[in-house]
Protein backbone atom coordinates (compact mmCIF):
# COMPACT_ATOMS: atom_id res chain seq x y z
CA UNK A 1 0.00 0.00 0.00
CA UNK A 2 1.36 3.43 -0.95
CA UNK A 3 1.53 5.67 2.10
CA UNK A 4 -0.56 8.80 1.78
CA UNK A 5 0.66 12.06 3.29
CA UNK A 6 -1.69 13.19 6.06
CA UNK A 7 -3.79 16.23 5.17
CA UNK A 8 -4.45 19.08 7.59
CA UNK A 9 -7.31 18.05 9.84
CA UNK A 10 -6.62 14.32 9.49
CA UNK A 11 -6.60 12.59 12.86
CA UNK A 12 -3.09 12.15 14.22
CA UNK A 13 -2.32 8.41 14.31
CA UNK A 14 -2.41 7.24 17.90
CA UNK A 15 -0.24 4.39 19.07
CA UNK A 16 -2.54 1.66 20.39
CA UNK A 17 -2.25 0.85 24.08
CA UNK A 18 -1.04 -2.61 23.10
CA UNK A 19 1.73 -1.22 20.87
CA UNK A 20 2.76 1.36 23.45
CA UNK A 21 2.90 -1.22 26.21
CA UNK A 22 5.94 -2.84 24.65
CA UNK A 23 8.29 -0.35 26.31
CA UNK A 24 7.74 -1.85 29.75
CA UNK A 25 6.70 -5.39 30.58
CA UNK A 26 6.66 -7.75 33.52
CA UNK A 27 8.18 -11.16 32.82
CA UNK A 28 6.23 -14.42 32.92
CA UNK A 29 7.07 -16.07 36.25
CA UNK A 30 5.72 -19.44 37.38
CA UNK A 31 4.00 -19.32 40.77
CA UNK A 32 4.39 -15.54 40.83
CA UNK A 33 2.59 -13.78 37.98
CA UNK A 34 -0.84 -15.24 38.58
CA UNK A 35 -3.95 -13.16 38.07
CA UNK A 36 -3.87 -11.60 41.59
CA UNK A 37 -0.30 -10.49 40.98
CA UNK A 38 -1.10 -9.08 37.56
CA UNK A 39 -4.03 -7.06 38.90
CA UNK A 40 -1.66 -5.51 41.45
CA UNK A 41 0.99 -4.82 38.81
CA UNK A 42 -1.64 -3.28 36.56
CA UNK A 43 -2.57 -0.78 39.28
CA UNK A 44 1.08 0.15 39.66
CA UNK A 45 1.86 0.27 35.95
CA UNK A 46 -1.28 1.14 33.98
CA UNK A 47 0.53 1.04 30.62
CA UNK A 48 2.87 -1.95 30.93
CA UNK A 49 2.42 -5.29 29.21
CA UNK A 50 1.87 -8.20 31.57
CA UNK A 51 2.58 -11.88 31.05
CA UNK A 52 1.00 -14.93 32.63
CA UNK A 53 2.96 -17.78 34.12
CA UNK A 54 3.86 -20.39 31.52
CA UNK A 55 1.01 -22.82 30.90
CA UNK A 56 1.64 -25.97 28.90
CA UNK A 57 -0.45 -26.27 25.74
CA UNK A 58 -1.79 -29.64 26.91
CA UNK A 59 -2.98 -28.11 30.15
CA UNK A 60 -4.78 -25.34 28.27
CA UNK A 61 -6.52 -27.92 26.11
CA UNK A 62 -7.34 -30.57 28.70
CA UNK A 63 -6.99 -28.83 32.07
CA UNK A 64 -9.09 -26.60 34.27
CA UNK A 65 -9.28 -23.52 32.05
CA UNK A 66 -11.24 -21.47 34.55
CA UNK A 67 -8.22 -21.74 36.84
CA UNK A 68 -5.33 -21.83 34.35
CA UNK A 69 -6.59 -18.97 32.21
CA UNK A 70 -8.07 -16.91 35.04
CA UNK A 71 -7.85 -13.25 34.14
CA UNK A 72 -9.37 -10.06 35.42
CA UNK A 73 -10.66 -7.54 32.87
CA UNK A 74 -8.33 -4.88 34.32
CA UNK A 75 -5.25 -6.82 33.23
CA UNK A 76 -5.13 -5.71 29.57
CA UNK A 77 -2.79 -5.68 27.79
CA UNK A 78 -1.86 -9.16 28.93
CA UNK A 79 -0.13 -12.02 27.13
CA UNK A 80 -0.59 -15.73 27.71
CA UNK A 81 2.68 -17.62 27.75
CA UNK A 82 2.53 -21.15 26.40
CA UNK A 83 4.95 -24.03 26.75
CA UNK A 84 5.07 -26.90 24.30
CA UNK A 85 6.61 -28.04 21.06
CA UNK A 86 3.84 -29.71 19.10
CA UNK A 87 2.53 -27.28 16.50
CA UNK A 88 -1.02 -28.65 16.43
CA UNK A 89 -1.36 -28.53 20.22
CA UNK A 90 0.19 -25.08 20.45
CA UNK A 91 -2.15 -23.86 17.74
CA UNK A 92 -5.18 -25.17 19.60
CA UNK A 93 -3.96 -23.67 22.88
CA UNK A 94 -3.25 -20.32 21.18
CA UNK A 95 -6.76 -20.26 19.77
CA UNK A 96 -8.24 -20.99 23.19
CA UNK A 97 -6.06 -18.29 24.76
CA UNK A 98 -7.10 -15.67 22.22
CA UNK A 99 -10.76 -16.67 22.67
CA UNK A 100 -10.30 -16.13 26.42
CA UNK A 101 -9.32 -12.54 25.73
CA UNK A 102 -5.52 -12.59 25.92
CA UNK A 103 -3.94 -9.88 23.78
CA UNK A 104 -0.88 -11.89 22.73
CA UNK A 105 0.34 -15.47 22.87
CA UNK A 106 3.99 -15.96 23.71
CA UNK A 107 5.94 -19.17 23.18
CA UNK A 108 8.48 -20.11 25.84
CA UNK A 109 11.88 -20.95 24.31
CA UNK A 110 13.88 -20.06 27.40
CA UNK A 111 12.99 -22.26 30.35
CA UNK A 112 15.82 -24.66 31.26
CA UNK A 113 14.21 -26.87 33.93
CA UNK A 114 14.67 -30.65 33.78
CA UNK A 115 10.94 -31.19 33.56
CA UNK A 116 10.74 -28.87 30.59
CA UNK A 117 13.74 -30.49 28.91
CA UNK A 118 12.17 -33.91 29.35
CA UNK A 119 9.11 -32.55 27.54
CA UNK A 120 11.40 -31.16 24.82
CA UNK A 121 10.25 -27.59 25.10
CA UNK A 122 11.50 -24.38 26.70
CA UNK A 123 15.15 -23.50 26.14
CA UNK A 124 16.02 -26.70 24.26
CA UNK A 125 13.87 -25.33 21.43
CA UNK A 126 16.71 -22.89 20.70
CA UNK A 127 18.29 -25.90 18.99
CA UNK A 128 15.20 -26.58 16.89
CA UNK A 129 14.44 -23.38 15.00
CA UNK A 130 12.49 -25.20 12.28
CA UNK A 131 10.17 -26.76 14.87
CA UNK A 132 9.68 -23.37 16.54
CA UNK A 133 8.92 -21.86 13.12
CA UNK A 134 6.34 -24.59 12.43
CA UNK A 135 4.80 -24.03 15.86
CA UNK A 136 4.65 -20.28 15.42
CA UNK A 137 3.15 -20.63 11.92
CA UNK A 138 0.45 -22.96 13.26
CA UNK A 139 -0.29 -20.64 16.17
CA UNK A 140 -0.55 -17.60 13.89
CA UNK A 141 -2.92 -19.46 11.58
CA UNK A 142 -5.09 -20.47 14.54
CA UNK A 143 -5.56 -17.15 16.35
CA UNK A 144 -5.98 -13.49 15.58
CA UNK A 145 -3.64 -12.01 18.21
CA UNK A 146 0.13 -11.49 17.86
CA UNK A 147 2.27 -14.56 18.46
CA UNK A 148 5.65 -13.76 20.03
CA UNK A 149 8.65 -15.72 21.28
CA UNK A 150 10.69 -15.44 24.49
CA UNK A 151 14.12 -16.96 24.03
CA UNK A 152 17.69 -17.08 25.27
CA UNK A 153 20.85 -16.37 23.28
CA UNK A 154 21.68 -20.04 22.95
CA UNK A 155 22.09 -23.17 25.02
CA UNK A 156 25.11 -24.61 26.82
CA UNK A 157 28.29 -23.50 25.09
CA UNK A 158 26.75 -22.13 21.91
CA UNK A 159 28.24 -18.66 21.81
CA UNK A 160 27.64 -17.84 18.21
CA UNK A 161 25.72 -14.69 17.35
CA UNK A 162 25.22 -16.02 13.81
CA UNK A 163 23.41 -19.08 15.16
CA UNK A 164 21.21 -16.89 17.38
CA UNK A 165 20.40 -14.73 14.36
CA UNK A 166 19.58 -17.85 12.31
CA UNK A 167 17.17 -18.95 15.03
CA UNK A 168 15.46 -15.55 14.99
CA UNK A 169 15.39 -15.36 11.18
CA UNK A 170 13.89 -18.85 10.85
CA UNK A 171 11.17 -18.07 13.39
CA UNK A 172 10.55 -14.59 11.99
CA UNK A 173 10.10 -16.04 8.51
CA UNK A 174 7.14 -18.00 9.94
CA UNK A 175 5.51 -14.70 10.90
CA UNK A 176 6.78 -13.93 14.41
CA UNK A 177 7.48 -10.20 14.62
CA UNK A 178 8.56 -9.91 18.25
CA UNK A 179 11.28 -11.53 20.32
CA UNK A 180 11.81 -11.15 24.04
CA UNK A 181 15.48 -11.92 24.53
CA UNK A 182 16.56 -13.11 27.96
CA UNK A 183 20.07 -12.01 27.17
CA UNK A 184 22.10 -14.97 28.41
CA UNK A 185 22.53 -18.63 27.50
CA UNK A 186 20.64 -21.42 29.21
CA UNK A 187 22.88 -24.19 30.48
CA UNK A 188 20.87 -27.35 30.18
CA UNK A 189 23.18 -29.52 32.26
CA UNK A 190 24.34 -28.86 35.76
CA UNK A 191 22.53 -25.64 36.64
CA UNK A 192 19.19 -25.26 38.38
CA UNK A 193 16.62 -22.89 36.84
CA UNK A 194 17.54 -20.35 39.54
CA UNK A 195 21.26 -20.60 38.72
CA UNK A 196 20.33 -20.33 35.05
CA UNK A 197 18.94 -16.88 35.81
CA UNK A 198 22.17 -15.79 37.47
CA UNK A 199 25.29 -17.61 36.32
CA UNK A 200 25.43 -17.53 32.50
CA UNK A 201 26.77 -14.06 31.70
CA UNK A 202 24.45 -11.37 30.36
CA UNK A 203 25.12 -10.17 26.80
CA UNK A 204 22.78 -7.25 26.24
CA UNK A 205 24.89 -6.35 23.20
CA UNK A 206 23.39 -9.36 21.35
CA UNK A 207 19.86 -8.05 21.84
CA UNK A 208 21.01 -4.60 20.71
CA UNK A 209 22.73 -6.12 17.68
CA UNK A 210 19.57 -8.04 16.82
CA UNK A 211 17.58 -4.79 16.77
CA UNK A 212 20.28 -3.15 14.64
CA UNK A 213 20.48 -6.06 12.21
CA UNK A 214 16.72 -6.64 12.01
CA UNK A 215 15.14 -3.24 12.62
CA UNK A 216 11.77 -4.48 11.40
CA UNK A 217 11.46 -6.85 14.36
CA UNK A 218 10.28 -5.76 17.78
CA UNK A 219 13.01 -6.65 20.27
CA UNK A 220 12.52 -6.64 24.03
CA UNK A 221 15.49 -7.18 26.33
CA UNK A 222 15.21 -9.13 29.56
CA UNK A 223 17.53 -10.37 32.28
CA UNK A 224 19.07 -8.73 35.34
CA UNK A 225 17.46 -5.31 34.90
CA UNK A 226 17.67 -3.98 38.42
CA UNK A 227 16.42 -0.42 38.44
CA UNK A 228 14.64 2.32 36.54
CA UNK A 229 17.81 3.87 35.12
CA UNK A 230 18.92 0.54 33.62
CA UNK A 231 15.49 -0.15 32.17
CA UNK A 232 15.30 3.27 30.53
CA UNK A 233 18.83 3.02 29.16
CA UNK A 234 17.94 -0.18 27.28
CA UNK A 235 15.26 1.73 25.40
CA UNK A 236 17.99 3.61 23.52
CA UNK A 237 18.81 0.29 21.84
CA UNK A 238 15.71 -1.90 21.76
CA UNK A 239 11.93 -1.52 21.80
CA UNK A 240 11.24 -2.66 25.31
CA UNK A 241 12.56 -3.69 28.70
CA UNK A 242 11.07 -6.67 30.50
CA UNK A 243 11.58 -6.90 34.25
CA UNK A 244 11.11 -10.05 36.29
CA UNK A 245 12.51 -10.40 39.78
CA UNK A 246 13.17 -6.71 40.39
CA UNK A 247 9.55 -5.88 39.59
CA UNK A 248 8.25 -8.65 41.80
CA UNK A 249 10.41 -7.91 44.83
CA UNK A 250 10.19 -4.12 44.54
CA UNK A 251 6.89 -3.50 42.75
CA UNK A 252 7.09 0.28 43.32
CA UNK A 253 9.78 0.23 40.64
CA UNK A 254 7.01 -0.56 38.16
CA UNK A 255 5.08 2.52 39.18
CA UNK A 256 8.10 4.80 38.90
CA UNK A 257 8.94 3.37 35.49
CA UNK A 258 5.39 3.64 34.20
CA UNK A 259 5.28 7.33 35.15
CA UNK A 260 8.76 7.95 33.70
CA UNK A 261 7.95 6.26 30.39
CA UNK A 262 4.30 7.16 29.85
CA UNK A 263 3.78 10.28 31.96
CA UNK A 264 1.26 10.93 34.73
CA UNK A 265 1.58 11.71 38.41
CA UNK A 266 3.40 9.57 40.93
CA UNK A 267 0.91 8.13 43.38
CA UNK A 268 1.69 6.88 46.88
CA UNK A 269 2.15 3.27 47.86
CA UNK A 270 -0.79 3.43 50.23
CA UNK A 271 -3.08 4.95 47.60
CA UNK A 272 -2.18 2.33 45.00
CA UNK A 273 -2.78 -0.41 47.52
CA UNK A 274 -6.12 1.06 48.57
CA UNK A 275 -7.19 1.15 44.93
CA UNK A 276 -6.95 -2.63 45.08
CA UNK A 277 -9.59 -2.86 47.79
CA UNK A 278 -12.62 -3.50 45.52
CA UNK A 279 -10.73 -6.32 43.80
CA UNK A 280 -9.59 -7.86 47.09
CA UNK A 281 -13.05 -7.72 48.63
CA UNK A 282 -14.66 -9.12 45.52
CA UNK A 283 -12.17 -12.00 45.45
CA UNK A 284 -12.69 -12.73 49.15
CA UNK A 285 -16.45 -12.75 48.59
CA UNK A 286 -15.89 -15.33 45.85
CA UNK A 287 -13.97 -17.55 48.24
CA UNK A 288 -10.35 -16.55 47.61
CA UNK A 289 -8.03 -16.46 50.61
CA UNK A 290 -6.25 -13.24 51.49
CA UNK A 291 -2.85 -14.97 51.70
CA UNK A 292 -3.02 -15.83 47.99
CA UNK A 293 -3.35 -12.15 47.14
CA UNK A 294 -1.25 -10.55 49.87
CA UNK A 295 1.84 -12.65 49.11
CA UNK A 296 2.33 -10.54 45.99
CA UNK A 297 2.09 -7.29 47.93
CA UNK A 298 4.83 -7.95 50.49
CA UNK A 299 7.51 -5.96 48.67
CA UNK A 300 5.44 -2.81 48.16
CA UNK A 301 7.18 -0.88 50.93
CA UNK A 302 10.59 -2.43 50.17
CA UNK A 303 13.31 -0.21 51.67
CA UNK A 304 10.70 2.20 53.02
CA UNK A 305 9.58 3.36 56.40
CA UNK A 306 7.76 0.46 58.09
CA UNK A 307 8.45 -1.84 55.14
CA UNK A 308 9.46 -4.73 57.36
CA UNK A 309 6.51 -4.35 59.67
CA UNK A 310 4.20 -4.19 56.65
CA UNK A 311 5.60 -7.46 55.36
CA UNK A 312 5.49 -9.09 58.78
CA UNK A 313 1.89 -8.17 59.54
CA UNK A 314 0.74 -9.52 56.19
CA UNK A 315 2.86 -12.68 56.37
CA UNK A 316 1.64 -13.53 59.84
CA UNK A 317 -1.97 -12.47 59.54
CA UNK A 318 -3.09 -13.27 56.02
CA UNK A 319 -3.42 -17.03 56.52
CA UNK A 320 -5.75 -16.67 59.53
CA UNK A 321 -9.35 -17.61 58.89
CA UNK A 322 -11.45 -14.55 58.16
CA UNK A 323 -8.45 -12.34 57.28
CA UNK A 324 -9.71 -9.48 55.16
CA UNK A 325 -9.13 -5.90 54.12
CA UNK A 326 -8.71 -4.73 57.72
CA UNK A 327 -5.36 -6.53 57.85
CA UNK A 328 -4.11 -4.52 54.89
CA UNK A 329 -5.19 -1.29 56.57
CA UNK A 330 -3.36 -2.36 59.71
CA UNK A 331 -0.21 -3.05 57.66
CA UNK A 332 -0.49 0.29 55.85
CA UNK A 333 -0.92 2.16 59.13
CA UNK A 334 2.41 0.81 60.39
CA UNK A 335 4.25 2.26 57.42
CA UNK A 336 3.29 5.75 58.53
CA UNK A 337 4.44 5.19 62.11
CA UNK A 338 7.78 3.46 61.98
CA UNK A 339 11.12 5.12 61.28
CA UNK A 340 12.73 4.82 57.87
CA UNK A 341 15.26 1.94 57.62
CA UNK A 342 18.90 2.76 58.14
CA UNK A 343 21.61 1.35 55.87
CA UNK A 344 22.79 -2.06 57.12
Ligand X SMILES: Cc1cc2nc3c(=O)[nH]c(=O)nc-3n(C[C@H](O)[C@H](O)[C@H](O)COP(=O)(O)O)c2cc1C
Active site (catalytic) residues: 111
Say if residue 40 is exposed, middle or buried (CB neighbours under 10 Å; 0-12, 13-18, 19+): buried
Residue 246 touches ligand X, criterion: CB under 6 A: yes
Contact, 26 vs 48, CB < 8 A? yes
CA–CA dist 208, 217 (Å, integer): 12
Residue 296 touches ligand X, criterion: CB under 6 A: no
Residue 30 touches ligand X, criterion: CB under 6 A: yes
**Cβ nearer to ligand X, comparing 100 with 274:** 100
Estimate to the nearest angstrom the gap between the alpha carbon of 194 and the chain centroid: 17
CB of 284 to ligand X, least distance (A): 25
CB of 231 to ligand X, least distance (A): 10
Applying the rule CB under 6 A, the residues between 179 and 218 that interact with ligand X are: 182, 197
- DSSP code string of 61-109: HHS-HHHHT---GGG-SEEEEEE---HHHHHHHHHHHHHTT-SEEEEEE
How do the residues of the chain divide into helix, strand and coil, expressed in percent and rounded to 5? 45, 15, 40
Pick the stretch among 21-29, 36-44, 163-171, 203-211 that binds ligand X (CB under 6 A): 21-29
Helix (H) or strand (E) holding 53: strand 49-56
CB of 198 to ligand X, least distance (A): 8
CB of 57 to ligand X, least distance (A): 14
Is 189 annotated to bind ligand?
no
Is 182 annotated to bind ligand?
yes
Applying the rule CB under 6 A, the residues between 148 and 167 that interact with ligand X are: 150
305 contacts: CB under 8 Å, gap ≥ 6: 335, 336, 338, 339, 340, 341
Residue 110 touches ligand X, criterion: CB under 6 A: yes
Binding-site size, ligand X (CB under 6 A): 23
Pick the stretch among 7-15, 28-36, 207-215, 318-326 that binds ligand X (CB under 6 A): 28-36
Residue 81 touches ligand X, criterion: CB under 6 A: yes
CA–CA dist 146, 166 (Å, integer): 21
Residue 28 touches ligand X, criterion: CB under 6 A: yes
**Cβ nearer to ligand X, comparing 113 with 333:** 113
CB of 271 to ligand X, least distance (A): 26
x-marked contacts with ligand X along 214-243 as a string, rule CB under 6 A: --------xxxx-----------------x
Could you tell me which of 321, 282, 277 has the C-alpha nearest to residue 297?
277
Residue 245 touches ligand X, criterion: CB under 6 A: yes
Distance from first CA to last CA of the chain, Å, rounded? Answer: 62
328 contacts: CB under 8 Å, gap ≥ 6: 273, 277, 280, 294, 297, 314
Contact, 280 vs 314, CB < 8 A? no
Binding site for ligand X (CB under 6 A): 27-32, 53-54, 81, 108, 110-111, 150, 182, 197, 222-225, 243-246
Binding site for FMN: which residues?
28-30, 81, 150, 182, 222-224, 244-245
Binding site: which residues?
28-30, 81, 150, 182, 222-224, 244-245
Amino acid sequence: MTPVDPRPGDPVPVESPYAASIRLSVAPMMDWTDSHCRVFHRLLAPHARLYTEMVHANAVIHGDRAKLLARDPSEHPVALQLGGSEPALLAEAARIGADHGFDEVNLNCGCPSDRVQAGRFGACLMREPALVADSVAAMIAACDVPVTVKCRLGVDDDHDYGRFLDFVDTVASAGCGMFVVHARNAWLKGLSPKENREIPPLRYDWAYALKRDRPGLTVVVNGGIADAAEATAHLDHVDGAMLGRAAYHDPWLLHRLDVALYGGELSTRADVLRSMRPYVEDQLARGAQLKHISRHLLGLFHGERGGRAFRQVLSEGAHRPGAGWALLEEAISLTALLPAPTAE
